[in-house]
Amino acid sequence: MSAASMDVIVSLCKRRGFVFQSSEIYGGTGSCWDYGPLGVELRNNIKRIWWRDFVQQRNDMVGLDASILMHPTVWKASGHVDNFTDPMVDCRECKRRFRADQAGTMDWTHYCPATKGNKFTIKGGERCPHCGARRTLCPECGKGELTAPRQFNLMFKTFMGPVEEDAAVTYLRPETAQGIFVNFDNVLQATRRKLPFGIAQIGKAFRNEITPGNFIFRSREFEQMEIEYFVNPHDRVDGRPADEAWHDRWIADCQSWFTRYGLDHANVKLHEHLGDELAHYSKRTVDLLYRFPMGWNELMGIANRTDFDLKQHAKFSGKSLTWFDEERKEHVVPFVIEPSAGVDRALLAFLLDAYREEEVRGDKRVVLRFHPELAPIKIAVLPLLKKRPEIVAAGHDLRHRLTRRWLTLYDDTAAIGRLYRRQDEVGTPYCVTVDVKTVGDPEKGEAGDGKVTIRERDTMQQIRVPIAELEHVFGRLLDAGTPWSEVAAGYPRAEG
Ligand code: ATP
């Protein structure tokens, strides 16, 4: 498991400007989050590499950006108006509301009769060690009875236009997928694609979750990265029905994407939906789980949604949503494989997995070992002596040059040791220091050597590199992905 507890990550996120609670000065909402200066970079990096790897670099994928507000019939056709519900229960005493399926797994408050009514907090699902009772009352206050479960629709209702009447009711989308299905034919006509092909979209989704929580894991406003991959169910791939073979390929691709960018294999596993868990439209669904501090939980889902959505939209809209199979001379409704990931859950998992506390020469060092592609800041330029104007000027000049290709920050607000620690804590892979040797010392008649020190985050090794070669060196490290050890072998080591 990751070394980090949720509290440690929440506090780091706030302190260093990754994530803030929404509307904090008004007491916060508890269910929405704002991404700060570093958070927005990390988030954009996740979305950028996902889009690059799954859309731009593949010949069988295109992108889409559909609107959040859609025709209300979309949500009738998709089944969300009738089925997108969670059973909820209310406490008759404290009036708190829970998801019926979560009340049993939460830690619960117990006033134990065997210990004169002393108050205990007992782990979810476990019995009281003193009286042996199981939870029956409200898990939060420990006093009130819970109501029978009632269905609660998770969609946010709103009104389109100036009149608040039933005819104007619409919803904030609870998933991005439906924007893809309703545009299936538009994309097909515009791009002349043949099956199999996929449409991807990244965008906000909204769910009025009954019990949001665990930081950004479950919020009411979040972002999804979704793909609908359309296949011909009559085709065979690897000797199997095409939808089944493509489903397995997407499961493998998604899992290896997350581990390629840093998640430890031991912290990721697959979960097969069985029995009741399988949605009515799904032939098979597999979740990718991550070992979050609160336990194994869904990072993303990969579902075989069959032809359910296209058929539903064809039925409700009266438009044909088919693809013409030239070989078989027939119209087919494609089957759909849907890899659906949450940006916020991905960000949380990457943060947790990257977090390390290390001991360096007797001091604690906190470091985020982000994959360089994810790191919010790629390079920090740090002057060794800010009293020397030539050093400061050279530092600013370097930042200006490097930031055109890699986000580079200049910082001279502390001593070098502290500056390194600050960059380690936010996962900056490389620091460049400018010192007296770089610029020389005219008073002593010493000319500068035009070289700077590059320090690598994980090994803390330092090498001395001519300024003229910096773009080339960082091109190898940050663009070509050449390992540090290989690049560092070509330059003299600098003193740590
Ligand atoms: P859960 O069972 O955790 O509620 P789900 O199965 O309803 O999730 P999907 O509808 O499959 O989720 O949505 C796809 C992805 O969107 C999820 O795997 C998750 O990464 C993300 N996601 C869904 N709901 C939320 C939420 N409330 N907050 C943050 N991310 C979410």
Residues 325-367: pLDDT tens digits? 999 999 999 999 999 999 999 999 999 999 999 999 899 999 9
How close is the Cα of 151 to the center of ligand 1, in Å?
18
Would you say how long the chain is, in residues? 496
pLDDT value, residue 442: 81
Distance, CA of 339 to CA of 202 (rounded, Å): 12
Distance, CA of 128 to CA of 121 (rounded, Å): 9
pLDDT value, residue 101: 84
Closest ligand 1 atom number to CA of residue 303: 11
How close is the Cα of 307 to the center of ligand 1, in Å?
22
Model confidence pLDDT, tens digit, residues 437-455: 999 988 888 888 999 999 9
How close is the Cα of 342 to the center of ligand 1, in Å?
6
pLDDT value, residue 1: 44
Amino acid at 116: K
The helix/strand count (H/E) of the chain reads as: 15, 29
In 355-467, alpha helices (H): 389-402, 416-426, 436-439
Query: How many CB atoms neighbour CB 81 within 10 A?
Result: 17
How close is the Cα of 47 to the center of ligand 1, in Å?
17
Closest ligand 1 atom number to CA of residue 287: 18
Distance, CA of 113 to CA of 122 (rounded, Å): 14
Q: Are strands 446-447 and 440-441 parallel, antiparallel or unpaired?
A: antiparallel
Mutate to test the pocket of ligand 1, among 206, 224, 284 (most ligand atoms within 8 A of CB): 224
- What are residue 404's DSSP bridge partners? none
Q: Which two tokens stand for residue 165?
A: 């009447």
Question: Do the beta carbons of residue 349 and residue 299 sit within 8 Å?
Answer: yes
pLDDT value, residue 454: 98
Q: Can you give the C-alpha Rg of the chain in angstroms?
A: 27
Q: Which two tokens stand for residue 76?
A: 């009738």
Distance, CA of 153 to CA of 171 (rounded, Å): 11
Please state, rounded to an integer, the average pLDDT across all residues of the chain. 95
How close is the Cα of 365 to the center of ligand 1, in Å?
34
Model confidence pLDDT, tens digit, residues 388-439: 999 999 999 999 999 999 999 999 999 999 999 999 999 999 999 999 999 9
Residue nearest (by alpha carbon) to ligand 1 atom 9:
301
Residue nearest (by alpha carbon) to ligand 1 atom 21:
342
Distance, CA of 189 to CA of 323 (rounded, Å): 10
The secondary element (H helix, E strand) that includes residue 198 is strand 197-206
Give 113's pLDDT tier (boundaries 50, 70, 90): very high
How close is the Cα of 285 to the center of ligand 1, in Å?
13
Tell me the mean pLDDT in the region 137-159: 94
pLDDT value, residue 3: 63
Residue nearest (by alpha carbon) to ligand 1 atom 19:
342
Predicted TM-score (pTM) of this structure: 0.92
pLDDT value, residue 441: 87
Residue nearest (by alpha carbon) to ligand 1 atom 26:
218
Distance, CA of 142 to CA of 104 (rounded, Å): 13
How close is the Cα of 127 to the center of ligand 1, in Å?
30
Question: Do the beta carbons of residue 210 and residue 99 sit within 8 Å?
Answer: yes
Residue nearest (by alpha carbon) to ligand 1 atom 17:
300
Q: Which two tokens stand for residue 175?
A: 């998933």
Closest ligand 1 atom number to CA of residue 217: 29
pLDDT value, residue 105: 86
Mutate to test the pocket of ligand 1, among 209, 345, 347 (most ligand atoms within 8 A of CB): 345
Q: What are phi and psi for residue 274, nearest 5 degrees?
A: -125, 150
Residue nearest (by alpha carbon) to ligand 1 atom 1:
298
% of the chain residues with pLDDT over 90: 88
How close is the Cα of 62 to the center of ligand 1, in Å?
23
pLDDT value, residue 458: 97
Q: Are strands 61-63 and 197-206 parallel, antiparallel or unpaired?
A: parallel
Distance, CA of 348 to CA of 434 (rounded, Å): 34
What residues have CB less than 8 Å from 63, skipping those under 6 apart? Answer: 51, 55, 199, 200, 201
Tell me the mean pLDDT in the region 228-235: 97
Model confidence pLDDT, tens digit, residues 262-279: 999 999 999 999 998 998
Pocket of ligand 1 (CB under 6 A): 175, 207, 209, 218-219, 222, 224, 298-301, 340-342, 344-345
